[in-house]
Amino acid sequence: MIEKCFKFITLVVFMRKGDLGWKVVCLEHDDPSAAIANLILKLWPEKAERKKIKKEVYIRKEDLKKELSNITTFDKRVLFTLGYGELHHYTYGFATNFADKLSKKWAYLHFDNHPDYPSASKLMNCGRFVKSLVKDSKNATEPLLIGCEPNNINRVRQIRGWHPFQNNELEEHLSELPIDVYLSFDLDVLHPELICTGYSRGYMDMNTLMSYLRIIKDRKNIIGADIIGSSFKGDIQGHFIYSLIASFICDLDADNLFGKMKEYPKMIINSFDLEKYFAKSQ
């Protein structure tokens, strides 16, 4: 009992100091998620691991939490990767299982072309989980929806659209949120030329996405994250976008990443000056 208490206190102290490191857990449930795992494990084999999970498009809250409860330990902060966006509701399990244990007060940041917010329900799916996540979490305060298409959701913080001139709006929202945040990315928020997804797309470009992440990282303590949205196992550009986000958030070896990207000179993302964001984070 004393040993368990000591481990918990150590974890809290490390978290407050910002010294708790990161690992990437690549969850395999389809061909795209396996391809993403292959790339990330090739780039950072010592920082990443892969685990197979069941694909449940509709699942009860209790079953989802149980399914995800043992996929990783709490020795580090975790960034999860998945494939096709039909499993975005798994974020509910990540947040209620893991974020709640790492922070007593945190906010949920939702990058997505879709709000996934409608009414709380016992049965989860990819379009209906955000309200339940915040309602059922012990420690989450409120969500911030970033990049969602026009909707009729009121009394929820939102940054509508995909433009860098909204940086001030993001900073204003962040100033009113707790220091700890959990980030979830459905990459259908991005411009259609950037990634293959199975859902309607937004028009956020990579500079906008990275500028938002730079602001968040400078002002907040990111306690966990997940990335989803790829629908094609051969979409190497889309999978590099996963890797860029993971590298930036988790402070992984960016030189190795950009070196690998140069092997694919025809990718559209090579036209963005992405390395400048990483230079600030090192």
pLDDT at 6 over 90: no
* Helix-strand-coil split of the chain, %, nearest 5: 45, 20, 35
Closest by CA to 130, choosing from 117, 144, 121, 140, is 117
CB burial string 32-60: b at 16+ within 10 A, e below:
bbebbbebbbebbeebbbbeebebbeebe
> CA torsion sign, 49 to 54 to 58 to 61?
negative
7-17: average pLDDT: 42
Question: CA 26 → CA 38, 48, 99, 196, 225, distances in Å?
Answer: 9, 7, 18, 19, 12
Phi, psi of 167 (to 5 degrees): -55, -40
Q: Where are the domains of the chain?
A: 2-281
Predicted TM-score (pTM) of this structure: 0.92
Residue 164 is predicted with a pLDDT of 64
SS3 77: strand
Give Cβ neighbours of residue 53 (< 8 Å, ≥ 6 apart).
27, 28, 29, 67, 68, 71, 90
pLDDT at 80 over 70: yes
Q: Does domain 2-281 have CATH number 3.40.800.10?
A: yes
pLDDT at 9 over 60: no
Angle between helices 31-43 and 236-250 (to 10 degrees): 50
Residue 17 is predicted with a pLDDT of 40
Confidence of residue 282 (pLDDT cuts 50, 70, 90): low
Q: Give the β-pairing of 106-111 and 140-146.
A: parallel
Confidence of residue 3 (pLDDT cuts 50, 70, 90): very low
Confidence of residue 92 (pLDDT cuts 50, 70, 90): very high
Which of 7-16, 32-41, 120-129 is predicted with the least confidence, judged by mean pLDDT?
A: 7-16
Digit-coded pLDDT (tens) for 229-239? 999 999 999 99
Average pLDDT in the chain: 90
Residue 75 is predicted with a pLDDT of 82
Digit-coded pLDDT (tens) for 168-206? 999 999 999 999 999 999 999 999 999 999 888 899 999
